[in-house]
Structure 1
Amino acid sequence: MGIPEYRAVFLAHSLSLLGVVVSEIALSVLVYDLTGSPLLSALTFAVGFLPYLLGGTLFAGVADRFPARRVLVVCDLLCAACVAVMALPGTPIGLLLALRCALAVVSPVFQGTRMATLADVLGDGDLFVLGRSLLRIVSQSALLVGYGCGGLLLTVLSPRHALLITVATFLASALLLRLGTRRRPARAGRGTPADGPLTGARRVLADRRTRLLLLLFWAPPLFCVVPEALAAPYADRIGAGSTGLGLLMCALPVGTIAGELFAGARLRPATRERVALPLLCFMLLPYLGFALAPGLGWTLCLLVLSGAGNAYTLGLDQWFVAAVPEELRGRAMTLNTAGLMTVQGVGMALAGVAAQFAGVPATVAGAGLLGTLVCVPLALAARRGAAPGGALRKNERPKCETGLTTM
């Protein structure tokens, strides 16, 4: 936090995240008030996931083709404009959902550009890993307190008035980024000519090592979200009530925060990289305990333990920023963000379908087993890319103490 540019990015992230949380709650309530349909109310959350894939593929090149500061400010202004239209009286339901989709299309471009900017501000080393970890911790913390505060906010404001708060947070974020970060040239001009967005995405995915790293980021969240998606029916099954449901929703974020804080503060960079793959292999195993349909206390322990395994991303972050060429870094980060959100949406949908036939405990336990069977081969493939003792092979970039060679 001692770097002024990072402080500006951090504060802008916090403000825009607050706005997103408030808008999700307010929009969901607004749609339900207008339609009385639980399905359409839930759909306002669902449409926030899958459009990430569209934005992350079609517009990934924007992150590198234009100066990063300009991209970040324009994205914030576009989001503010979309939410402002949502807040207008008489906005029809179809337009509300379309604008929600538009936010989800813009979001991966913004997030990918911001993460690439962190590498410019903090460098490619341990400061980048810790800085990105801190942003993730803020995101998880927002999930813990944001929804509760948003619910309280709606007791004194109408949903449309609450949306105006989101507009203000996006505008404040744009102002912070415009005044608090330095203008840098477009990355595509630093080493290679600018190309089309799909061409840029293909260039990122053309490298087998980068594809493997992206899979290491994407595979666990596909299965991790299953307990969250099924928290309400599971709370009902064990008789936990609304208070228990709130605790179940908080358990994974609490574990994630604890794991990342411990790894970031107490482990050396080389140690974080060494434990990344073991954590990847074991983080979903606690879900197997759901086969016994445990009570609330044991369930919370299982979820916190699994959430702590997300500390594997600290080691993976270092490999990723070292593996991707600088001129493609914005596109790579954008694709990563789009993939993360998309697989979470898919995971939630599949969890609901499976629970209809197998029941909630069996579905969560099955996600733990299947997820482990997916993650272990990926970890072994990554391990084969590292030379004994953590030394890198000659065609690996020298910025990472333990890394992956071209597969």
Structure 2
Amino acid sequence: MAVTRYGAVFAVREYRPMFVAHVISMLGTMVAEVALSVLVYRSTGSPFLTAATFAVGFVPYALGGTLLASIADRYPTRTVLVWCNLVSAALIATMAVPGLPVVALLGLRFASATVAPIFGAARAASIPEIVPGPAAVLARSLIRVVTQSAQLVGFAVGGLLLVVVSPRFALAGEAAGFVLSALLLRLGTRWRPARGGTGGSMLGDSVRGLRAVFGAPRIRALLALWWVPPVFAVAPEALAAPYAHGIGRGSVGLGLLMTAVPAGAVCGELGAGLLSARLRSRLVLPLATGSLLPLTVFVVHPGLLVAVLALFAAGLCSAYLVGLDQWFLAAVPEPLAGQAMAVNSGGLMLGQAIGMAAAGAAAEYVAPHRVVVIAALLGLGATAATVHRVRRSATAPADRTLAGAPTC
């Protein structure tokens, strides 16, 4: 089977403005999160409220991925993408208004985070239309690579930028970035009709779509494989600060621990993109099963170098997502594509939030390195059970949405 290269993705004219728009919005989002947290801390002096500016960005994904998910399918994709960017620009520009109380800032942050999964779902569902064939998987992989890379670059850029400009100026700049992204998508992509929607209420369409998504055994199993490993894999990130303090490495150690997994994920996804579709498919279950195995090294309470290498190795295993994406695209019927993507991103973010909260709560009573090991062992068991479900779903005769889907 021929190997599809990343060059084939960028050769598609419509994909280039979509990719650039994503780079602009993701870097801006990271900078805006830093700016908003600084603004809240300067206003209140409260570490809890400062942390809440980050945490409040997780929960809305459950709302956007369920009750509002049908928006991605019931309206033309370009219209959804442009309006999501413009709404985000308006919300973030409002955050920059002087004198807003903290509760208003957090409310605006919640609202902007609710828009994000709708935008992401519409974009993800549109990529196979813009980049047809096997290259669609690599096109989606590049979007994830940008997202991971933004975590590496965006927070650092945000910190440096706030040395020379005020948080409100940085927020205003991010609002302008969303407007620029909207223009790129409006002028660089062509109009396509809506994929689905019954003409009924948005809530009714969302509920019907959710029933269809979760009613298909194959889709349920693949969603579980997207969601289960990250629930346990976020424990080191959640506990990076106390772990770095415990080994005497302070801020430098914290930075290295926080960036090791995203760096490994970027390398893993880019490497998987160089493989054939068949080989990527064969690697899904082995890599997913072993993705938490490197974290068991924390049983020896390793120093900084070993800990960073273990986290980097765990990130490399994210290469399984490229092959999993192939299966997911094959399993989801086109009229449900946007909603399925919204459900996927919503469940992923909510699962990570639960995993972080659980790891933090456990660390109140158990040493951080032991919490990481416990999470890894529980995750290995849960992932093995999920892999078994995926194998069974590949041949489930009752699931008629799977015609042509690759087998495990």
1:135-154 CA deviation, whole Å, 9 max, x = no partner?
11111111111111110000
| Equivalent position to 1:119, from 119, 128, 139 | 128
Is residue 18 from structure 1 mapped to residue 27 from structure 2 by the alignment?
yes
Q: 1:46 maps to what in 2?
A: 55
- Answer yes or no: is the 8 Å Cα contact 2:218–2:399 preserved in 1: no
What amino acid maps onto 2:281 in structure 1?
Answer: E
Is residue 353 from structure 1 mapped to residue 342 from structure 2 by the alignment?
no
Is residue 253 from structure 1 mapped to residue 262 from structure 2 by the alignment?
yes
1:246-286 CA deviation, whole Å, 9 max, x = no partner?
11111001111111111111x21011111101111101011
Is residue 178 from structure 1 mapped to residue 179 from structure 2 by the alignment?
no
Is residue 152 from structure 1 mapped to residue 160 from structure 2 by the alignment?
yes
Q: 2:102 maps to what in 1?
A: 93
Is residue 293 from structure 1 mapped to residue 298 from structure 2 by the alignment?
no
Is residue 31 from structure 1 mapped to residue 40 from structure 2 by the alignment?
yes
How many angstroms does 1:193 deviate by?
5.9
Q: 1:77 maps to what in 2?
A: 86
What amino acid maps onto 1:15 in structure 2?
Answer: I
| Equivalent position to 1:63, from 29, 49, 72 | 72
How many angstroms does 1:401 deviate by?
3.5
Q: 2:117 maps to what in 1?
A: 108
For 1:232 and 1:92, the matched residues in 2 are separated by 29
Q: 2:377 maps to what in 1?
A: 369
Secondary structure class of the residue paired with 1:356: coil
1:381-406 CA deviation, whole Å, 9 max, x = no partner?
2123346xxxx999564544435xxx
1:71-101 CA deviation, whole Å, 9 max, x = no partner?
0111001100000110001111111000000
How many angstroms does 1:337 deviate by?
0.9
What amino acid maps onto 1:126 in structure 2?
Answer: P
Of all paired residues, the percent bearing the same amino acid is 51
Query: CA 1:314/1:31 → structure 2, altered by over 3 Å: closer, same or farther?
Result: same
Secondary structure class of the residue paired with 1:59: coil
Secondary structure class of the residue paired with 2:192: coil
| Equivalent position to 2:316, from 287, 308, 316 | 308
Q: 365-374 or 200-209: which moved more?
A: 200-209
Q: TM-score, normalised by structure 2?
A: 0.94
- Answer yes or no: is the 8 Å Cα contact 1:274–1:402 preserved in 2: no
Q: TM-score, normalised by structure 1?
A: 0.94
The gaps in structure 1 that reach 5 residues or longer are: none
1:296-335 CA deviation, whole Å, 9 max, x = no partner?
1110111011111111111110111111110010000011
Is residue 337 from structure 1 mapped to residue 383 from structure 2 by the alignment?
no
Secondary structure class of the residue paired with 2:164: coil
When the two structures are aligned, how many residues end up with a matched partner? Answer: 395
The gaps in structure 2 that reach 5 residues or longer are: 1-9
- Poorly superposed stretches of 4+, deviation over 6 Å: none
